[in-house]
Structure 1
Amino acid sequence: MTMSEEYLSEYGQSWRLYGSYEDLQIGQVSEALVDFTGGVNTRIKLAEAPPDLWGILTRATYSRSLMGCQTHLGTTKVLKNGLVAGHAYTVIGIRKVTCQYGPENLVRLRNPWGKIEWKGDWSDSSYKWELLSPKEKILLRKKKEDGEFWMSLRDFKIHFVDLMICKLTPDLMSQEDGKKWMYSLKSGRWVKGSTAGGSLGFCNGNFWMNPQYWLNVLPVEDSKKNLNSCNVVISLMQKHSSKHRNRAPHLFIGFLLYKVHLQYQESNRKLPPAFFTRHQPVNKHQVFLDEREVTHDFHLEPGVYVIVPSTLEPQQESEFILRVFSRKHVLREMGGNTSFILSKEIVDKYEGKIWEDFFTRHFEQNPEINAVQLQKILNNISWRNFQSFRLNFSLDSCQGILALLDLNATGTLSIQEFRVLWKRLLFYLEVFQKGDTSRSGKLDLVELHAAVQETGISLSNEICNLMAIRYGDPDLQISFESFVCFMLRVEIMGEAFRNLTQDGKGIYLRESEWMMMTLYS
């Protein structure tokens, strides 16, 4: 299957997303081209057209890319020159002709109305046709009111604003004809209070909360160009949740691309806030557009990068599709897996606190403690070396904590099991207090994401949001008690999966084992 066939099979029916055929009548020509082909758009501002515009048009024509353009807005609907103001046209051909004074580059356009044509040079009735040989004039000139006409490339750049090229293969700008490209697609969401961090310059330190995607650009040996330069096309498309999507206003969207150095390359954790204050993006002049799709072409060195798609303003919600095209790459979402290792520094930090006289004396009297005794200990203990903090563990929470750590299923905790719990509680409390910037005694969704990141655990945004619903109050605020239950469950279930899996992808359990693990935890 060719790339264009893959596109068509995956996207060729995307008009169904719009709810009805009527909705297809509204929108941009660039969006229509993508919806019917699944290609990727390149927009060229004709007032700032590159010097090789004719070469781009030539390659687009021979690669059978779809092209559209739009005239300048105006108060008059139909201008004296025959063009319709603020109107979309289709580019249906190009031709270099030889005139008596030299070569001329011509562009053939079509008004979708099937009538009302250009009246300037190279129009159906223009004297310019007399400058061609009789054969060329016969082949190219059609004196018919059918909405199709020719105009010079020079006039095309003057009278039209944008040129949209929908590429079925993304190598239009690279000039590496006949080479095989690959593409990757990821769906994501900006969620208010969670992953809708907004742009880097607009707000604060919440930019890192946006979804992040790890991109490894790999060298290709058969490339005609230098192996140190790879052509990469990145496309970000927003998806409205409303039924009539074309009638909903577009958000301003864009993305930043960062080169990632060695210390961040092996981790699946999202890049922390400090990274974005210390490093400059590859696309330093980020542009946010209120269009459905934003696409950029890059020439990148092989290596690891991170793509951060965002809306211009924080707390704006939308679904999106991120597509990456290159000769060879790997793309994955960051923060998608769970992993936790209690570092030696954390163990050493709290080792002295664990064996305080209080615990030694208590476990001498009670070698094993049940949930009621655990509740009494946690609610009456002196949490030293921390800020004043009111802790109140319910019996239900203590039963849940005990079930997670009760490895031999006795209904009690030994001193060794409590030792593990105590180290984790001290660590979680420090993380919780650091994350509770408002000093409210609770974490909101943004603070929860930051706190989870601080622990070294990597969770997908969806799981974090679901855990806030499961463990939070009606306002999705997380108390320390709930935070402990949440973090312990994440850690213990992650450890259980890694212990049971043989291939890192799945596990097989008998029904009794499944019931034991899921019900008593």
Structure 2
Amino acid sequence: MPYSVNLPSGSGQATLVNSTQADGKTYEQLRLECLQKGKLFEDPDFPAVGDSLFFSQRVPVNFEWKRPGEICKDPKFITGGATRTDICQGQLGDCWLLAAIASLTLHEETLKRVVPHDQSFDRGYAGIFHFQFWQHNKWLDVVVDDRLPCVRNNLVFVHSADNTEFWSALLEKAYAKLNGSYESLKGGSTMEAMEDFTGGVGEMYETKNAPTNLFLILKKAVERGSMLGCSIDITSSAESEAQTTTGLVKGHAYSITGVEEVNYRGAKVQLIRVRNPWGQVEWNGPWSDNSREWSAIDSSEKNRLLHNSLDDGEFWMEFGDFKANYDKIEICNLTPDSLSDDGSKKWEVNLFEGNWIRGSTAGGCRNYIDTFWTNPQFKLRLDHPDDGDKMCSVIVALLQKNRRRLRKEGLDMETIGFAIYEAPDDQDHQGKDFFRYNGSKARSRSYINMREVSERFRLPPGNYLLVPTTFQPHHEADFLIRIFSENKAGAMYPNPPEEETDEEKGLRRLFEQIAGSDNAISARELQHSLFSRKEVKFDGLTLNTCHSIINLMDVDNTGMLEFEEFKVFWEKLKKWIMLFLAYDTDRSGRMSSYELRSALNAAGMNLNNKILQLLGLRFADENFDIDFDDYLTCIVRLENMFRVFQALDKQKKGVINLNMMQFLMLSMNI
């Protein structure tokens, strides 16, 4: 299926990189060089040594690296077509990869891109083969030599049931090279490999817990040329390949090839077409090939549906029977340009790339509100609802890059997820307060340590903010986000927050020193930090004064100062100190109470004589002096009083009405 890509970063549609070799040479260049020199290719980028096998342990047995011609007399690349019987598991825990390869064999056109068929051990053979994989919006051509790990002349890892056929073993080797080693392939999900084979985005549904619109989801997926599979769970190995009385096989990977609605006896009936590619066994219940239901529908409709179901092993089922018999559905929403433009409706795809960097953009999930806002943010605009609907269908897929390759450095998959918020009209990177006071409109169902987290949503048209995160802060990784939509969507990066000045960076360091691990400053921590101020001579602030400061600056009512609140306070403190020093001419740490009027006027507080007299009585000593602690207490309490009054004076008439409890509450907080 073709696809269109709207990429804010401007890197364009998925591109083919001709070679991943360090020397930049292509497969064809390397093959011709070997033929001219009369030697077989030996891959310097993935040598036949133990490090290509394992990174966390020594090679447990004596492996020999052998070419197919040393293993058997007449090796073949592909014998009689690539089928699931060509894929047998070896001693590596990569059954997830094998299942994906088996599924790939059901889609001939896609298979030919991943496994170019014009390769052989006959004419033009030079010990070199190549395979193509999708990685992070690029198609890579991965070159390998054909030396394969063996023990006693037998392949150790993936091999074919036909011991003269080697395409599957060489494909596994190329995939191991892409990921750094064979050991890097241990453990994974089938969908991960399917995405690397197709460039698609995966979804998985359990039929027993599926959304109510599952039939519509499947119908649209078929219309878009997506790859769909289904299976029946097994509870033990004994059930594998067991046949049910209705002709279905447990543990089998089936493909879904059609979704239709038919008129049956005056009502609409939902049908789904399923294919068993590895046998003649078919469903024998309602709507099976020769069932009586077909005689009750229009002959033209019957011919249309059955004409495309001529393959042995392909059959129709009523959708309710399908859900009752099958357990899992996998959808790989295809996007690569490897499929022909057959008129299928296109997905619209937006791509974002980014990274989480410790101390900068690795803010962690919403549990860590103080740093959550520092995560990368991306804006998405949904203007056009789905055809015949008022909502917009989107699939969001967050993928962490290169984590298998990084295993040898002690790094594994991060636990990742994302949240979607309704975005404000401005184009700015949103700060902490936005996320404190606004809940998400959608989010990934869970945080999980898989390569990709994907989710389908139905959202009303509007502007949205997408925030991808690791679960915990300070964890680093690179990521790719793909957003699939039925109709074209706008995508952009918000304006970044303004760069901090050197002064702000210094203030942040001071804040982190004072705040400690909880990233917030308490009254006692504030008292201790202000005691060390050198500009003014004083014995330190009382705890009550520090509580008043926190009451003034604590806009989110946490009882503590966070960085933005601390930054505002610090600017005010510098201004208050300058005013005090203007009247403390002898630097004694005291100012005359007669100067209080001028100091308060300079601070923007114009008070009448009666209030000034009360302040003098409250804060001046017997010598009519006011020390810095009392001055600061006075000015902070006045600021608090002005702030509270102005907030309550909704009509701006200079008058407020309070009942007793409101008055008491305000008095306690000022």
Structure 1-normalised TM-score? 0.52
Q: Which amino acid aligns with 2:271?
A: L
Q: Tell me if 1:238 matches 2:238.
A: no
Q: What is the SS of the residue equivalent to 1:155?
A: helix
Is the contact between residue 18 and residue 243 of structure 1 (CA under 8 Å) also seen in structure 2? no
1:306-327: CA deviation from partner (whole Å, max 9, x where unpaired)? 2111233445544321123452
Percent sequence identity over aligned pairs? 27
Is the contact between residue 418 and residue 444 of structure 2 (CA under 8 Å) also seen in structure 1? no
Residue in 1 that maps onto 2:256? 91
Residue in 1 that maps onto 2:50? none
**How many Å separate the matches in 2 of 1:230 and 1:101?**
32
Q: Which amino acid aligns with 1:432?
A: R
Q: Tell me if 1:53 matches 2:214.
A: yes
CA offset at residue 255 of structure 1?
A: 0.6
Alignment of 1:428-439 (within 5 A): 428-437=505-514
The structure whose Rg is larger is: 2
Mark the CA change 1:289 to 1:84 in structure 2 (over 3 Å): closer, same or farther: farther
Is the contact between residue 237 and residue 293 of structure 1 (CA under 8 Å) also seen in structure 2? yes
Q: Which amino acid aligns with 1:319?
A: D
Is the contact between residue 41 and residue 295 of structure 1 (CA under 8 Å) also seen in structure 2? no
Pick from 195, 199, 213: which aligns with 2:377?
213
CA offset at residue 250 of structure 1?
A: 5.3
Q: Which amino acid aligns with 1:93?
A: G
**How many Å separate the matches in 2 of 1:328 and 1:138?**
38
Q: Tell me if 1:159 matches 2:325.
A: yes
**How many Å separate the matches in 1 of 2:490 and 2:294?**
53
Mark the CA change 1:127 to 1:267 in structure 2 (over 3 Å): closer, same or farther: closer
CA offset at residue 29 of structure 1?
A: 4.7
Is the contact between residue 66 and residue 166 of structure 1 (CA under 8 Å) also seen in structure 2? yes
**Runs of 5+ unmatched residues, structure 2:** 6-11, 18-112, 114-131, 143-169, 177-184, 337-342, 518-561, 569-670
Mark the CA change 1:289 to 1:158 in structure 2 (over 3 Å): closer, same or farther: farther
**How many Å separate the matches in 2 of 1:311 and 1:169?**
26
1:429-473: CA deviation from partner (whole Å, max 9, x where unpaired)? 433211225669xxxxxxxxx9899989xxxxxxxxxxxxxxxxx
Mark the CA change 1:83 to 1:58 in structure 2 (over 3 Å): closer, same or farther: same
Q: What is the SS of the residue equivalent to 1:309?
A: strand
**How many Å separate the matches in 1 of 2:347 and 2:288?**
41
Residue in 2 that maps onto 1:80? 243
Q: Tell me if 1:34 matches 2:195.
A: yes
Mark the CA change 1:59 to 1:238 in structure 2 (over 3 Å): closer, same or farther: same
Residue in 2 that maps onto 1:115? 279
Q: Tell me if 1:254 matches 2:331.
A: no
Q: Which amino acid aligns with 2:285?
A: D
1:336-374: CA deviation from partner (whole Å, max 9, x where unpaired)? x8645x7xxxxxxxxxxxxxxxxxxxxxxxxxxxxxxxx
**How many Å separate the matches in 1 of 2:509 and 2:406?**
43
Q: Which amino acid aligns with 1:34?
A: E
Residue in 1 that maps onto 2:226? 65
Residue in 1 that maps onto 2:431? 272
Comparing 154-163 with 117-126, greater Cα deviation is found at 117-126
Mark the CA change 1:185 to 1:69 in structure 2 (over 3 Å): closer, same or farther: same
Mark the CA change 1:186 to 1:14 in structure 2 (over 3 Å): closer, same or farther: farther
**How many Å separate the matches in 1 of 2:326 and 2:457?**
23
CA offset at residue 331 of structure 1?
A: 1.9
Residue in 1 that maps onto 2:652? none
CA offset at residue 283 of structure 1?
A: 1.4
**How many Å separate the matches in 1 of 2:248 and 2:416?**
31
Q: What is the SS of the residue equivalent to 1:115?
A: coil
Is the contact between residue 419 and residue 466 of structure 2 (CA under 8 Å) also seen in structure 1? yes
CA offset at residue 258 of structure 1?
A: 1.6
Alignment of 1:130-141 (within 5 A): 136=303, 139=307
CA offset at residue 169 of structure 1?
A: 7.4
**How many Å separate the matches in 2 of 1:74 and 1:249?**
30
Is the contact between residue 190 and residue 316 of structure 1 (CA under 8 Å) also seen in structure 2? yes
**How many Å separate the matches in 2 of 1:221 and 1:99?**
31
Q: Tell me if 1:185 matches 2:185.
A: no
**How many Å separate the matches in 2 of 1:334 and 1:126?**
63
Q: What is the SS of the residue equivalent to 1:14?
A: strand
CA offset at residue 35 of structure 1?
A: 3.0
Residue in 1 that maps onto 2:51? none
Q: Which amino acid aligns with 2:399?
A: M
**How many Å separate the matches in 2 of 1:104 and 1:221?**
27
Residue in 2 that maps onto 1:14? 133
**How many Å separate the matches in 2 of 1:52 and 1:222?**
14
Residue in 2 that maps onto 1:398? none
CA offset at residue 221 of structure 1?
A: 11
**How many Å separate the matches in 2 of 1:84 and 1:207?**
48
CA offset at residue 99 of structure 1?
A: 6.5
**How many Å separate the matches in 2 of 1:100 and 1:64?**
31
CA offset at residue 218 of structure 1?
A: 5.9
Is the contact between residue 74 and residue 86 of structure 1 (CA under 8 Å) also seen in structure 2? no
CA offset at residue 256 of structure 1?
A: 0.6
**How many Å separate the matches in 2 of 1:454 and 1:37?**
51
CA offset at residue 281 of structure 1?
A: 0.9
Pick from 320, 340, 356: which aligns with 2:479?
320
Residue in 2 that maps onto 1:477? none
Is the contact between residue 224 and residue 344 of structure 2 (CA under 8 Å) also seen in structure 1? no
Q: What is the SS of the residue equivalent to 2:379?
A: strand
Q: Which amino acid aligns with 1:332?
A: Y
Alignment of 1:432-451 (within 5 A): 432-437=509-514
Q: Which amino acid aligns with 1:430?
A: L
CA offset at residue 279 of structure 1?
A: 1.6
Mark the CA change 1:333 to 1:28 in structure 2 (over 3 Å): closer, same or farther: farther
Comparing 52-61 with 17-26, greater Cα deviation is found at 17-26
Is the contact between residue 241 and residue 252 of structure 2 (CA under 8 Å) also seen in structure 1? no
CA offset at residue 261 of structure 1?
A: 2.9
Q: Which amino acid aligns with 1:234?
A: V
Is the contact between residue 7 and residue 37 of structure 1 (CA under 8 Å) also seen in structure 2? no
Is the contact between residue 219 and residue 328 of structure 1 (CA under 8 Å) also seen in structure 2? yes
**Runs of 5+ unmatched residues, structure 1:** 171-176, 343-423, 441-449, 457-521
Structure 2-normalised TM-score? 0.42
**How many Å separate the matches in 2 of 1:138 and 1:231?**
31
CA offset at residue 73 of structure 1?
A: 4.1
Mark the CA change 1:62 to 1:308 in structure 2 (over 3 Å): closer, same or farther: closer
Q: Which amino acid aligns with 1:160?
A: Y
Is the contact between residue 214 and residue 334 of structure 1 (CA under 8 Å) also seen in structure 2? no
**How many Å separate the matches in 2 of 1:192 and 1:241?**
17
Is the contact between residue 507 and residue 567 of structure 2 (CA under 8 Å) also seen in structure 1? no
**How many Å separate the matches in 2 of 1:283 and 1:49?**
18
Is the contact between residue 224 and residue 345 of structure 2 (CA under 8 Å) also seen in structure 1? no
**How many Å separate the matches in 2 of 1:453 and 1:14?**
50
The RMSD of aligned alpha carbons is 4.9
CA offset at residue 289 of structure 1?
A: 4.3
Residue in 1 that maps onto 2:601? none
Mark the CA change 1:436 to 1:69 in structure 2 (over 3 Å): closer, same or farther: farther
Mark the CA change 1:260 to 1:138 in structure 2 (over 3 Å): closer, same or farther: closer
Q: Which amino acid aligns with 2:469?
A: S
Q: Tell me if 1:299 matches 2:459.
A: yes
